[in-house]
């Protein structure tokens, strides 16, 4: 599961992308538009600042702004920063458990393949794609 941290982070960044201009965007505005508690967003934005995704401007007239062009953010790096890791199993991921059975495990190859697929999916999508609602398949895969 992707937690609210990762999901809200994406929505904050999309919001900042959509409302970027001269002035930084106050978190209160983002919170109101996204209908998320501002207090909770503070925690999330703090991590986005630490990760170098956004910069904050204190004081009146302050707020947050993106540090790069929306095209230069991959969804993968955002989610990985917020979630710690995108791996589905503990044998892989950030600090993998050194499983003594890895040489004989019949399921490990599948997990590896899955992890690779997930990685490819999220790292091939940018913040710009989300703002513009481009699908990853650049076509009419979707039938609503």
Each residue 88-107 as x (binds its own copies by CB under 8 A) or -, in order, gives xxx---------xx----xx
By CB under 7 A, residue 59 contacts DNA: yes
Cα-Cα-Cα-Cα dihedral sign, residues 46, 126, 68, 34: negative
By CB under 7 A, residue 18 contacts DNA: no
In a 3-state reduction of DSSP, which class is residue 141? coil
**What minimum distance in Å lies between the beta carbon of 30 and its own copies?**
13
**What minimum distance in Å lies between the beta carbon of 48 and DNA?**
9
Nearest to 17 by CA among 54, 62, 56, 61: 54
Q: Which two tokens stand for residue 91?
A: 């044998």
Q: Which of 33, 46, 101, 102 touches DNA by CB under 7 A? A: 46
Q: Which of 21, 22, 35, 39 touches DNA by CB under 7 A? A: 39
By CB under 7 A, residue 118 contacts DNA: no
By CB under 8 A, residue 38 contacts its own copies: no
Q: How far is CA 83 from CA 6, 7, 8, 139, in A?
A: 6, 10, 11, 29
Of 30 and 75, which CB lies nearer to its own copies in the complex structure?
75
DSSP 58-118: -STT-EEEESS-GGG-BHHHHHHHHHS---SSTTSSSS----TTTTT-SSHHHHHHHHHHH
Binding stretches for DNA (CB under 7 A) = 3-5, 24-28, 37, 39-40, 42-43, 45-46, 49, 56-64, 90
């Amino acid at each position: 599961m992707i937690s609210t941290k990762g999901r809200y982070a994406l929505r904050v960044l999309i919001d900042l992308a959509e409302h970027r201009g001269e002035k930084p965007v106050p978190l209160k505005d983002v919170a109101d538009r996204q209908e998320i508690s501002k207090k909770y967003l503070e925690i999330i934005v703090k991590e986005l600042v630490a990760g170098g995704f956004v910069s904050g401007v204190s004081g009146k007239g302050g707020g947050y702004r993106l540090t790069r062009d929306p095209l230069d953010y991959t969804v993968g790096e955002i989610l990985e920063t917020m979630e710690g890791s995108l791996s589905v199993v503990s044998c892989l991921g950030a600090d993998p458990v050194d499983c003594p059975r890895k040489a004989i495990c019949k399921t490990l190859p599948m997990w590896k393949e899955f992890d690779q697929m997930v990685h490819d999916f999220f790292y091939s999508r940018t913040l710009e794609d989300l703002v513009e609602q481009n699908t990853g398949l650049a076509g009419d895969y979707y039938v609503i």
